[in-house]
């Protein structure tokens, strides 16, 4: 099951290293904090949730959820990403009321690898590496129990030109206005994903949208800038702007949270 993540353009320099670096920048930290805050609004708290994190990568989200008592299985085909996730987990494990386990494999094979009936299925930052995200989305819908929650984060096809323009990459901005395919900041090819297409697949599978957020309106163009003392204020500004139109429509990512009809 090849895609632009599993067949990187620069063999020899693991994507896992480039991705871990990006996650530690201001915009990486903002993204993780906003997505986690949205999940905290929608995940039931009465009992720990069984969460499947498809393409969970280095396990950042899994650790955050385990810290709030949930039990997370990270399913990912990239051994280098999983190795980072496995290495980081023990330092958090004794303080976390929840748990994280790991499974190597593609999301498209989730029912065979990790079963179905999950309370929550996450798919964050994965669809943009797939030539056709629809088959994976359909499988993810089948992994949920009735009443379960799906959370999908991907680059917005409609907003790819914004980062290019704000960084004065005029050639890139013009290209992004005409094609959803781009060379992204970790040096692999990615695609903007059509939010309407994801919503159509949700509807076909009886997934009712609970809320959608734009993730990174103000900070997306800040490249390698690190988080500063004003980080909490930055996050609050991004949180508020990411919930309202027209701003959320020009954020780097859309974040959709939906519930499987019971």
- Shortest separation between residue 216's beta carbon and ligand SAM, angstroms: 13
Q: How many alpha carbons lie under 13 Å from residue 116 in its C-beta half-sphere? A: 13
80 or 237: whose CB is closer to ligand SAM? 80
Q: How far apart are alpha carbons 227 and 157 in whole angstroms?
A: 27
Residue 193 phi/psi, 5-degree rounding, is -110, 140
- Shortest separation between residue 259's beta carbon and ligand SAM, angstroms: 21
Question: Cis ω on the peptide bond leading into residue 139 (within 30° of 0)?
Answer: no
Footprint of ligand SAM (CB under 6 A): 1, 3, 5-6, 19, 54-57, 60-61, 76-78, 81, 106-108, 124-126, 129, 136
29 or 234: whose CB is closer to ligand SAM? 29
- Shortest separation between residue 69's beta carbon and ligand SAM, angstroms: 20
- Closest listed residue to residue 34, CA positions, set 257, 259, 262: 257
Q: How far apart are alpha carbons 27 and 31 in whole angstroms?
A: 6
Residue 171 phi/psi, 5-degree rounding, is -65, -45
71 or 165: whose CB is closer to ligand SAM? 71
84 or 195: whose CB is closer to ligand SAM? 84
- Shortest separation between residue 65's beta carbon and ligand SAM, angstroms: 12
Instruction: Report the residue number whose CB is nearest to ligand SAM.
Output: 57
């Amino acid at each position: 099951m090849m895609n632009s993540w599993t067949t990187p353009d620069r063999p020899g320099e693991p994507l896992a290293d480039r991705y871990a670096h990006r996650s530690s920048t201001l915009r990486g930290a903002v993204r993780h904090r906003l997505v986690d805050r949205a999940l905290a609004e929608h995940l039931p708290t009465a009992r720990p949730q069984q969460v499947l994190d498809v393409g969970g990568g280095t396990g950042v989200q899994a650790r955050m959820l385990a810290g709030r008592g949930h039990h997370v299985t990270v399913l990912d085909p990239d051994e280098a990403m999983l190795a980072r996730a496995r290495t980081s987990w023990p330092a958090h494990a004794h303080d976390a009321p929840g748990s994280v386990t790991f499974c190597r494999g593609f999301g498209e094979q989730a029912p065979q690898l990790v079963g179905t009936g999950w309370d929550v299925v996450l798919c964050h930052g994965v669809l943009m590496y797939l030539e056709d995200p629809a088959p994976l989305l359909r499988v993810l819908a089948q992994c949920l129990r009735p009443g379960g929650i799906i959370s999908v984060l991907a680059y917005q096809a409609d907003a790819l030109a914004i980062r290019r323009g704000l960084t004065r990459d005029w050639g890139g901005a013009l290209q992004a206005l005409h094609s959803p395919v781009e060379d992204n900041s970790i040096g692999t090819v990615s695609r903007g994903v059509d939010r309407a297409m994801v919503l159509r697949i949700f509807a076909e599978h009886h997934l009712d949208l609970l809320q959608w957020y734009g993730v990174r309106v103000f900070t997306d163009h800040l490249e390698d800038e690190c988080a500063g003392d004003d980080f909490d204020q930055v996050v609050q500004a991004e949180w508020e702007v990411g919930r309202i139109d027209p701003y959320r429509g020009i954020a780097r990512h859309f974040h959709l949270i939906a519930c499987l009809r019971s």
